[in-house]
Amino acid sequence: MGVLLLLPVLVLAACGAADQGSGDDDALVPPGDPVGELVVEQRADEGAGPQRWTLVCGDQATGDHPDAQTACDHLIGLDQPFAALPEDRMCTQQFGGPQTATVTGVWRGEPVDLSLARSDGCLIEQWDRLGPLLPGPVGVDPPG
């Protein structure tokens, strides 16, 4: 009878241990595995050649991105940084500049293929939200 009482306690203890950290998406990635592997290409305007960086976010940020650690820390802090904009969105008609960018790769096990521009209010907000991922003279300093 003592064994039967011990079994539910062990099951509950195992469930509690498995549930710890469930609010932290990084807990889903085994140590040593990257959270994301990205390629970023930016253009200052339509006729400009692209600036290209790689970025790997894991235990340590690597790649040739000019500020890899800051970019990774920023992206990891965002909920779904590469989510598509809603189809039914209403955006202000403003022009934020001729810059364009693409981000491709993998983030948290999901493919990333995002095209960015600064041609209306929604797209400007999407660009700015990615902050330090889009560095250099082509990028825009995040608000703040």
Owning domain of residue 71: 20-83+93-132
pTM of the model: 0.72
Q: Please report whether residue 143 resides in a domain.
A: no
pLDDT in tens, the chain (144 residues): 444 444 333 333 333 333 333 344 444 445 568 999 999 999 988 888 899 999 999 999 999 999 999 999 999 999 999 999 999 999 999 999 999 999 999 999 999 999 999 999 999 999 999 999 997 544 444 444
Examine residue 8 and state whether it is found in any structural domain, yes or no. Answer: no
Is residue 140 a part of any domain in this protein? no
Total structural domains in the chain? 1
Provide CB contacts within 8 A for 58, sequence distance 6+. Answer: 32, 33, 34, 35
In this predicted structure, what is the pLDDT of residue 31? 59
Q: What are phi and psi of 14, to 5 degrees?
A: -65, -40
Q: Is the dihedral of CA 111, 117, 118, 123 positive or negative?
A: negative
Domain-located, residue 51? yes
What is the CATH number for 27? 3.30.350
Name the 3-class secondary structure at 96: coil
- DSSP helix/strand/coil, 10: helix
Cα–Cα distance, 23 to 19 (Å, whole number) = 9
Q: Is residue 31 domain-resident?
A: yes
